[in-house]
């Protein structure tokens, strides 16, 4: 295949580097220490937590949620911060149209790659600028229907299928930059599962024979009368890939894998060719087979977080 296998280790998005966003924090009421909450009541914590908590007890008053696990359970990040949550499984959903797209701006230095995963959008625009260079990167990706069409019946009646990711690996690494992301969808509502920004690292070259699939967490339930029912649950992506490593980078790649253990990253097996070979998650295992004088073969198992 001879396509670079790359990985992006995400930079953390915090209040310090999120300049602005058009996404509202959330609809839940803001937590108050003098309000008694009942079982099931939900509250919002703003900066720095940006989190939703649910009450576990009646008359729940004066118990600060992050430090009171007997009284509160963590539900997840607020809507505005779901795309920046690196634990996976959360989806930002907010208004975004051609005239008023969803927009957020983050700052950073020398980032050269951005990834947006789990998209529902008609188009995405990525801009990078600095005080010295002005706007030095400006790319718009439009999502077209890529459903398999065999005949005119399919053309008129097959469900629309569009790409769900944008990966930009060619951003110039400029100091003290602002990165502006705009997302719009014809429906007026956009979705985004994960936003990643950082430095891309090339690990080798993806070989043919890569395998992709999912890990399904659904279950079958059987009642006392033997009747079965299926309960659909979440799933995570998985990828098995082999890479060709030139002799000179074998030791470097081994060190890079070791440094990325138990770290959520964006693994990119064939950017622009196979969307299924892009997985946000962690590697379960890797092995380097040093069998040839000029190159080696590295195999890796990647498991998604969503």
Residues 6+ apart with CB under 8 A from 236: 88, 214, 215, 217, 281, 303, 304, 305, 306
Mean pLDDT throughout 264-284? 93
Number of domains forming the structure of the chain = 3
CATH number for the domain harbouring residue 211: 2.40.30
Residue 166 shares a structural domain with residue 134? yes
Domain boundary among 155, 174, 199: 199
Which domain range does residue 61 map to? 26-77
> Given the DSSP bridges, would you call strands 134-142 and 189-192 parallel, antiparallel or unpaired?
unpaired
Task: Read off the pLDDT of residues 231-246 as tens digits, 9 standing for 90 and up.
Answer: 998 889 999 999 999 9
Instruction: Give a yes or no: residue 2 inside a domain.
Output: no
Residue 95 shares a structural domain with residue 150? yes
Instruction: Give a yes or no: residue 49 inside a domain.
Output: yes
Instruction: Give a yes or no: residue 146 inside a domain.
Output: yes
Residue 69 shares a structural domain with residue 147? no
Residue 109 shares a structural domain with residue 158? yes
DSSP 140-194: EEE--B-----SHHHHHHSPP-B--EEEE------SSEEEEEEEE-TTSEEEESE
Residue 140 shares a structural domain with residue 90? yes
Coil, strand or helix: which one is 107?
strand
Residue 146 shares a structural domain with residue 178? yes
pLDDT above 60 (res 80):
yes
Residue 55 shares a structural domain with residue 100? no
CATH number for the domain harbouring residue 153: 2.60.120
Instruction: Give a yes or no: residue 5 inside a domain.
Output: no
Domain boundary among 171, 199, 227: 199
CATH number for the domain harbouring residue 52: 2.10.10.20
Cβ-contact 91, 280 below 8 angstroms: no
Instruction: Give a yes or no: residue 1 inside a domain.
Output: no
pLDDT above 90 (res 78):
yes
Instruction: Give a yes or no: residue 239 inside a domain.
Output: yes
Domain boundary among 157, 183, 199: 199
pLDDT above 60 (res 79):
yes
pLDDT above 80 (res 185):
yes
Mean pLDDT throughout 16-39? 95
Task: Read off the pLDDT of residues 110-169 as tens digits, 9 standing for 90 and up.
Answer: 999 999 999 999 999 999 999 999 999 999 999 875 555 555 555 555 566 678 899 999
Q: What are phi and psi of 276, to 5 degrees?
A: -65, -20
Residue 153 shares a structural domain with residue 273? no
Residue 227 shares a structural domain with residue 188? no
Instruction: Give a yes or no: residue 6 inside a domain.
Output: no
Q: Tell me the C-alpha to C-alpha distance, in Å, between residue 229 and each of 74, 191, 234.
A: 30, 30, 16
Residue 16 shares a structural domain with residue 147? yes
Residue 134 shares a structural domain with residue 109? yes
Instruction: Give a yes or no: residue 278 inside a domain.
Output: yes
Residue 56 shares a structural domain with residue 153? no
Instruction: Tell me the C-alpha distance between 53 and 78, whole Å.
Output: 10
């Amino acid at each position: 295949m001879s396509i670079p296998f790359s990985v992006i280790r995400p930079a953390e998005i915090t209040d310090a580097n999120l300049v602005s966003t058009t996404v509202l924090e959330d609809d839940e009421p803001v937590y108050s220490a003098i309000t008694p909450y009942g079982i099931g009541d939900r509250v919002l914590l703003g900066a720095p937590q940006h989190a939703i908590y649910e009450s576990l007890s009646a008359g729940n008053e004066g118990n600060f949620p992050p430090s009171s696990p007997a009284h509160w359970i963590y539900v997840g990040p607020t809507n505005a911060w779901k795309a920046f949550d690196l634990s996976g499984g959360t989806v930002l959903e907010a208004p975004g149209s051609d005239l008023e797209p969803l927009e957020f701006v983050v700052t950073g230095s020398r980032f050269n790659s951005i990834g947006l995963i789990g998209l529902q959008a008609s188009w995405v625009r990525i801009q990078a600028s600095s005080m010295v260079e002005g706007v030095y990167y400006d790319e718009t990706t439009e999502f077209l229907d890529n459903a398999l069409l065999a005949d005119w019946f399919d053309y008129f009646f097959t469900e629309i299928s569009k790409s769900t990711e944008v990966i930009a690996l060619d951003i110039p690494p400029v100091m003290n930059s602002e990165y502006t992301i705009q997302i719009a969808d014809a429906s007026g509502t956009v979705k985004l599962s994960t936003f990643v920004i950082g430095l891309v690292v090339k690990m080798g070259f993806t070989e043919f024979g890569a395998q992709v699939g999912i890990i399904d967490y659904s279950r079958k339930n059987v009642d006392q009368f033997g009747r079965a029912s299926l309960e659909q649950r979440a799933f995570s992506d998985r990828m098995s890939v082999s890479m060709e490593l030139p002799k000179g980078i074998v030791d470097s790649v081994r060190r890079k894998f070791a440094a990325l253990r138990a770290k959520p990253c964006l693994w990119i097996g064939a950017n622009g060719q196979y969307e299924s070979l892009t997985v946000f998650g962690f590697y379960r295992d890797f092995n380097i087979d040093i069998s040839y004088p000029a190159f080696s073969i590295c195999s890796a198992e990647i498991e998604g977080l969503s």
